[in-house]
A and B are shown apart, each in its own frame.
Chain A
């Protein structure tokens, strides 16, 4: 289960509309809920309090690829830690493509237990937003599992 604040939900969808027809990307910050199982076993519940927009370094193919600069992640993680927040997931958009994970999304996913939120942006308008948790224990058995999303 992933809970997003209203502002975080609106912001990540708006980001996809602004970058259309290219993919947007960013980081979800908040808390893994107390009592949640650890990554690799059962699903982890998390609450997203804010997002951090990132640039897309894949300027060679921004309409169907994204990559976040690790230096952005380090900065975002440090700033989040100062506020008592953790990186709980990431978001990106699929321009004119369903809000479903792709083989590329899975191949490039390595943050087990974190949520990967995908928004379909059709003709410049955000439509469906789905969330998937990266489950499994290592690269050999990883998989995306759809998780319920609640906007609070």
Chain B
């Protein structure tokens, strides 16, 4: 069964679980199952119009799902889905390509 890894800032919304098994065939199904079980996660992962927040990276094993089939990416037993909020910043004004929701 695929497993979702929950990053530390979101564990308070996942019953303190760091990893959750999800019986899902695709990434989309897995994420839907996750927020169904833990509704408080939804606003941290998705915008108001239901899109995954741009700073939320979702990896299937070591591959960014954006470069696979996105939410349609197929899963198999043993796959690990990692939710990884981005880490970035910088000291001062300058060229910046930060993305906003």
Contact = CB atoms under 8 A, between A and B. Distances in A.
A binds B: yes
Interface in B45-101: 53, 55-57, 59, 62, 64, 82, 84-98, 100-101
Contacts of B88: 58, 65-68, 108
A139 B85 CA distance: 12
A105 B89 contact: yes
Interface string A115-144: 010000000000000000010001100000
Contacts of B53: 139
Contacts of A116: 89
Given A61-B95, A70-B57, A110 B86 contact: yes
Given A39-B12, A138-B44, A67 B91 contact: no
Contacts of B91: 23, 64, 94-95, 97, 102, 104-105
Given A113-B9, A114-B8, A73 B87 contact: yes
Interface in A93-115: 94-95, 97, 101-102, 104-105, 107-114
Given A39-B9, A110-B9, A102 B89 contact: yes
* Interface size classification for chain B: 20 to 34
Contacts of A134: 9
Interface of B: 5, 7-9, 12, 18, 43-44, 53, 55-57, 59, 62, 64, 82, 84-98, 100-101
The 10 A-B residue pairs whose C-beta atoms are closest, nearest first, are A65-B90, A110-B85, A105-B89, A94-B91, A108-B88, A67-B88, A112-B9, A97-B91, A68-B87, A70-B57
19 contacts: A23-B91, A25-B87, A39-B12, A58-B88, A60-B95, A64-B94, A67-B87, A67-B88, A68-B87, A68-B88, A70-B59, A71-B62, A77-B5, A86-B8, A94-B91, A102-B90, A104-B92, A104-B98, A108-B87
Given A61-B94, A86-B8, 17 more contacts: A23-B91, A39-B9, A40-B12, A61-B95, A65-B89, A66-B90, A67-B86, A71-B59, A74-B82, A87-B7, A104-B92, A108-B88, A110-B85, A111-B8, A111-B9, A114-B8, A139-B53
